Amino acid sequence: MTRGDRAQGWGIGIIIFVLTQLSLTLEAGEVMTKGAEKGRWTMDLDAAQKLAAEENLVVFLDFTGSDWCGWCIRMNKQVFSKDGWEKFAEEKLALVKIDFPRNQNLVPEAYRQRNRTLQSKYSVGGYPTYILLDSDGKSELGRLGAGHNKTLESFKKEVIQLFRRSSAGAAQFAAKLPGAVGEKYGKSSQQLRAKRGQYKAWLASRPQTTPANLDLFLTYRREITKLSNQVEKIEFEADASKMAPDEASRYRALYADLHQARHALDDWHESRPDSAAASNDEQARLQTRIDDISRQLQEF
């Protein structure tokens, strides 16, 4: 190799290095590392929780592997990079990236151990996992994931369904309903949030497997199911009322199927099944049925 070739090689290497660093800088610039603003992604969870409390927003945690996870990259392309996402988020969400990239430079050192702690705390086993927390930054509203056919509009619908579980979302939805229906929805939603919080705290206490605790577990399930059905029935009817007659008919039929499948799963729990394989298979079958109907409903 001649001196000129070596010089040219060094020159190309420097250019590649500069371009790489520029690319990383631009990518990092899209996500705030300090502070939080409505409609913008941040790594600063504390600031996002403060923003959510002040603005009555839902905290949206994105557990991701930003520079290697194919599904994460797909969701960025299909959903988060679209024009309508930022405006949608401004009104409802405090956006937080909990990133596990291969290139460690993409995440400040101060957040790396914290991210691993959060991953363990929320039992996140794969990426992307989207977890929505109420404005208190603690109460989990639900989880979402990636999908081949997810679009901005379809994902917004999924987020809205969980947003309605929040204190702000329930109040906003109740305000759009007729008087008595809105009051019932608001009261049932508040009771449901409280009951779910009690149930989660009880589970976190790691109760022993005793007949008394099994009775308490079933009681929690009955109460949460009853309140969930009251809330969901109002939501589904409100959504169906905006659809064309044929579409509304299919929508209501699917909801009836979902209610039936959930009732069957509740009956399975009430039967106090043993740990036999056949019993576990039945639970898996019922849960798969529920998940399948839920996905179909999300397509409306």
One domain, residues 147 and 206: no
Q: Read off the CATH number of the domain in which 51 is found.
A: 3.40.30.10
pLDDT beyond 50 at 41: yes
One domain, residues 224 and 252: yes
One domain, residues 144 and 230: no
| Residue 287 identity | Q
275 or 14: which leads in pLDDT: 275
8 belongs to a structural domain: no
250 belongs to a structural domain: yes
pLDDT of 55-64, one tens digit each?
Answer: 999 999 999 9
pTM check: above 0.95 = no
138 belongs to a structural domain: yes
Q: 272: domain range?
A: 168-298
> Which of 163, 184, 203 delimits the end of a domain?
163
Give the number of domains in the chain: 2
Residue 283 has a pLDDT of 85
pLDDT beyond 90 at 29: no
> Which of 139, 163, 187 delimits the end of a domain?
163
37 or 297: which leads in pLDDT: 37
pLDDT of 216-274, one tens digit each?
Answer: 999 998 999 899 989 989 999 998 999 999 999 999 999 899 989 988 988 888 887 77
156 belongs to a structural domain: yes
> Which of 101, 131, 163 delimits the end of a domain?
163
Residue 267 has a pLDDT of 86
Residue 2 has a pLDDT of 54
